[in-house]
Amino acid sequence: MAEAVLAIRDLCKSFGALRATENVSIDLVPGEIHALIGPNGAGKSTLIHQIAGTLKPDSGEIEFLGSPVSHLGAAERARMGLGRSFQVSSLAPEFSALRNVMLAVQSRQGTSFRFFKPVMRDATLVEPAMEALERAGLKDRARVPAAELSHGERRQLEIAIALALGSRAFLLDEPMAGMGPEGSKTLTGFLDGLRREAPILLVEHDMDAVFALADRISVLVYGRVIATGTVEEIRSDPEVRRAYLGGAE
Amino acid sequence: MSISRETAINLVLALLLLAVPFIAMQLGKPFYVTLATRMAILGLAAIGLNIALGLGGLVSFGHAAFFGIGGYAAGILASHAFSGQPLDFGLFAVPGSKLMPVIWAVAILAGGLLAAAIGSISLRTSGVYFIMITLAFAQMTYYFAISWPAYGGEDGLSITIRNTFPGVNTLVPQNYFLICYALLVVGLVLFAVLRDSRFGAALQASRQNEVRVASVGIAPFRIKLAAFVISGMITALAGALYADLNRFVSPSMLSWHMSGEFIVLIILGGVGRLCGPLAGAMLFVMFEYILGGLTERWQFFLGLLLLGVVLFARGGLIGLLAGRARHG
């Protein structure tokens, strides 16, 4: 197996007596979609928060592109190329879709401490942003404020932002949530191609999408990874069936 | 190139203010020149606050500290220049100055340093806590000024004769108005340029959603701190101008009433709008003069006006006339 882009070792996080993350070890290798599934409250979002750097783990190590990142903040990890979409869309609501993406382009190009040149007339910002919007299928909605986009479009916009960041790995927290069947299908096709650009750690409840996309699946239950394997291995794992699939399906 | 409705309104406002002193002299009412100068200076001070509050969403209830430190910079330098005594810093001493450009530079520097100190602590909080902590810092400077007898303490400090500007007789009211007006225009241009820049984009995005800004790799704290410092510098410059207008500096420039007044100006004119502070300052000074002449309780009516704006015209005067702000 290739060198891992993202490696999580023995991560632990407790909230009082609740062990939200317990000795979790996961890795993400180039070209793969690694799905993270588990029942509600299994600690999937808590884990994503720790990887992204918005929550500090109690112990354990996170390595990204071969170097430890546990001591870095969310902004620094994002600059290294850790792109993220949120479970509940998190955008600058007054800004147009274009300006939301431009913010990512501007960050990728380096410092934001530039005080004079107007951004809207800066082709080095506008063009890459339009390109990312086009890839995410939002080109026609570029000038619409994020607050006026539909739920599905906001999801697409988050992905366009992650694309524009030139991410080396994607953390996608339930990108299909709230999307209609048509939207889910389009997005599934899109993510399928996206993995060639950078590997994806995908948290998702839509099992059809997970089984269609994932190269590997890890099952999280009560903060612990109870199984990691291919789609077939996970489908046939008795413990997974008992803990999760059996009850849910 | 077509100009937007907001740009047209801004131009009308700016030209209107420019016209006031000339009309005033024609009418033989030189006092109106002072009113117009007050509008320009308060407008500039509020432009400073508008960078923090309007663009960055940082509701500072302590901008009087920057206004006041600018005023004291002018007052202290002028008093030393007048007495011939150098300012003694222990290790070294510098002479006072009557030159406006020197005074402005010192005011801007002092305002920037104070804003860096206050901001680096206050910006670790947000919301109501930020409002309270900036208020607390400003009150500290207020009580410091009151209890500092060297520069007048509670009584304040007079500037015997208005400071000078090379090649301009600043004692002529119209001339002093034009100096303040020129700096107001510089302030407006600076605000517009900042707003449209990369820095402005990051700052406005931080107001809307800090998590988003961090997750694209921009640390919001540094952006907000820089904005707060720039904001404090501009308000401090306005303070120095205000001191020269009144030829008097007192702790009241540092009081929380002043901080509140700046916020009121911005809300009246339009939060985050380029000419919001100017529109607010013009309305405010006009209100103060006209109603203040009719009744001592003019602030009651100001309160009603503010209530009306907050309830029915959220975007202030500019919002009412030009519609909602659009971001590209």
Say yes or no: B4 contacts chain A, CB-CB below 8 A. Answer: no
What are the extents of the domains in chain A?
1-81+169-190+199-249, 94-166
Bridge partners for A59 per DSSP? A12
Q: Is the dihedral of CA A115, A120, A121, A127 positive or negative?
A: positive
Say if the Cβ atoms of A161 and B216 lie within 8 Å.
yes
Please choose, from the candidates A216, A246, A240, A241, the residue with its C-alpha nearest in 3D space to the C-alpha of residue A227: A240
Question: Interhelix angle for B298-312 vs B276-294, to 10°?
Answer: 140
Q: How many CA atoms lie within 13 A of B288 on its CB side?
A: 15
pLDDT of residue B120: 97
The size of the A-B interface in CB pairs under 8 A is 114
pLDDT in tens, B251-274: 999 999 999 999 999 999 999 999
Q: Is the dihedral of CA B143, B140, B41, B268 positive or negative?
A: negative
Chain A residues with CB under 8 Å of B198 CB are 106, 111-115, 117, 119, 125
pLDDT in tens, A56-94: 999 999 999 999 999 999 999 999 999 988 877 789 999
Token pair for residue B191? 């605000």
pLDDT of residue B110: 98
pLDDT in tens, B182-206: 999 999 999 999 999 999 999 999 9
How many CB atoms lie under 10 A from the CB of residue A80? 15
Report the DSSP pairing between strands A216-221 and A200-203. unpaired
pLDDT of residue A72: 92
pLDDT of residue A87: 79
* Number of helices (H), then strands (E), in chain A: 10, 10
- A88-113 in b/e form (b: 16+ CB < 10 A) is ebbbbbbbbbbbbbbbbbbbbeeebe
The phi, psi pair for B192, rounded to 5°, reads -65, -40
Quickly tell me which residue has 């026609």 as its tokens.
Answer: A140
**C-beta separation of B205 from A61 below 8 A:** no
Listed in sequence order, the residues at least 6 apart from A150 whose beta carbon sits closer than 8 Å to its beta carbon are: none
Average pLDDT score over residue span B306-320:
91
Distance, in Å, from the CA atom of B244 to the CA atom of B238, rounded to the nearest integer, reads 10
Largest CA distance in chain A: 62
Q: Measured between CA atoms, how close is A37 to chain B, in angstroms?
A: 23
Token pair for residue B265? 């100006």
What are the extents of the domains in chain B?
5-322
pLDDT in tens, A154-208: 988 998 999 999 899 999 998 888 788 888 888 888 899 899 889 999 999 888 8
Q: Which CATH architecture has domain B5-322?
A: Orthogonal Bundle (1.10)
pLDDT of residue A242: 79
pLDDT of residue A183: 81
The pLDDT of residue A2 is above 70: no
pLDDT of residue B328: 67
Q: Measured between CA atoms, how close is B163 to chain A, in angstroms?
A: 32
Fold observed for domain A1-81+169-190+199-249: Rossmann fold (3.40.50)
Q: Looking at the partner chain, which of A86, A92, A111 has a beta carbon nearest the beta carbon of B205?
A: A92
Q: Find the residue in A nearest to B217 (Cα).
A: A75
The pLDDT of residue B106 is above 50: yes
Please choose, from the candidates B278, B264, B276, B270, the residue with its C-alpha nearest in 3D space to the C-alpha of residue B307: B264
* DSSP 8-state secondary structure symbol assigned to residue B97: -
Distance, in Å, from the CA atom of A24 to the CA atom of A28, rounded to the nearest integer, reads 13
Say if the Cβ atoms of A119 and B194 lie within 8 Å.
no
DSSP H or E segment with residue A229:
strand A224-229
Q: Find the residue in B nearest to A125 (Cα).
A: B198
Chain B residues with CB under 8 Å of A118 CB are 193, 196-197
Quickly tell me which residue has 């927290």 as its tokens.
Answer: A173
The pLDDT of residue A249 is above 50: no
Report the DSSP pairing between strands A82-85 and A169-173. parallel
Q: Measured between CA atoms, how close is B1 to chain A, in angstroms?
A: 15
Chain B residues with CB under 8 Å of A73 CB are 214, 219
* DSSP 8-state secondary structure symbol assigned to residue B254: G
Chain A residues with CB under 8 Å of B194 CB are 115
Q: Find the residue in A nearest to B189 (Cα).
A: A116
- B83-98 in b/e form (b: 16+ CB < 10 A) is eeeeeeeeeeeeebbb
Quickly tell me which residue has 């850790």 as its tokens.
Answer: A82
Say yes or no: B215 contacts chain A, CB-CB below 8 A. Answer: yes
Average pLDDT score over residue span B74-97:
90
The region that residue B145 occupies, defined by phi over 0 for left and psi between -120 and 50 for alpha, beta otherwise, is alpha
The percent of residues in chain B predicted with pLDDT above 70, rounded, is: 99
Please choose, from the candidates A8, A151, A145, the residue with its C-alpha nearest in 3D space to the C-alpha of residue A86: A151
The sheet with strand A18-28 has its strands ordered as A18-28, A6-15, A59-64, A67-68
- Rounded to two decimals, the ipTM of the complex is 0.89
pLDDT of residue A42: 87
What are the CA-CA distances from residue B237 to residues A65, B106, B232, B276 (Å)? 48, 9, 9, 19
Q: Which amino acid is at A114?
A: R
Say if the Cβ atoms of B199 and A114 lie within 8 Å.
yes
Distance, in Å, from the CA atom of A190 to the CA atom of A133, rounded to the nearest integer, reads 13
The phi, psi pair for A36, rounded to 5°, reads -115, 115
pLDDT in tens, B118-171: 999 999 999 999 999 999 999 999 999 999 988 989 999 999 899 999 999 999
Distance, in Å, from the CA atom of B53 to the CA atom of B59, rounded to the nearest integer, reads 5
pLDDT of residue B2: 67
Say if the Cβ atoms of B196 and A114 lie within 8 Å.
no
Say if the Cβ atoms of B204 and A95 lie within 8 Å.
yes
Distance, in Å, from the CA atom of B44 to the CA atom of B184, rounded to the nearest integer, reads 5
Q: Looking at the partner chain, which of A93, A112, A120 has a beta carbon nearest the beta carbon of B218?
A: A112
pLDDT of residue A248: 47
**C-beta separation of B253 from B71 below 8 A:** yes
Among B189, B193, B195, B215, the strongest candidate for a mutation testing the A interface, having the largest count of A CBs within 10 A, is B215
Token pair for residue A245? 């699939």
pLDDT of residue B3: 79
pLDDT of residue B295: 87
A→B contacts (Cβ < 8 Å), by residue, are: 52, 54, 73-76, 78-79, 84, 86, 90-96, 98-100, 102-104, 106-108, 111-120, 125, 143, 145, 161, 165
Question: E-assigned strands of B68-146?
Answer: 87-88, 93-94
Say if the Cβ atoms of B199 and A113 lie within 8 Å.
yes
Q: Measured between CA atoms, how close is A32 to chain B, in angstroms?
A: 22
The pLDDT of residue B1 is above 60: no
Among A48, A82, A95, A112, the strongest candidate for a mutation testing the B interface, having the largest count of B CBs within 10 A, is A112
What are the CA-CA distances from residue B170 to residues B21, B103, B119, B248 (Å)? 15, 14, 35, 16
pLDDT of residue A141: 95
Say if the Cβ atoms of A99 and B216 lie within 8 Å.
no
Q: Measured between CA atoms, how close is B51 to chain A, in angstroms?
A: 13
pLDDT in tens, A109-144: 988 999 999 999 999 999 999 999 999 889 999 999
Q: Looking at the partner chain, which of A86, A112, A143 has a beta carbon nearest the beta carbon of B223?
A: A112
Say if the Cβ atoms of B223 and A76 lie within 8 Å.
no
Chain B residues with CB under 8 Å of A112 CB are 198-199, 201-202, 218, 223
Distance, in Å, from the CA atom of B11 to the CA atom of B19, rounded to the nearest integer, reads 12
How many CB atoms lie under 10 A from the CB of residue B8? 13
Q: Measured between CA atoms, how close is A140 to chain B, in angstroms?
A: 14
Chain A residues with CB under 8 Å of B199 CB are 112-115
Read off the pTM: 0.91
Q: How many CA atoms lie within 13 A of A97 on its CB side?
A: 27
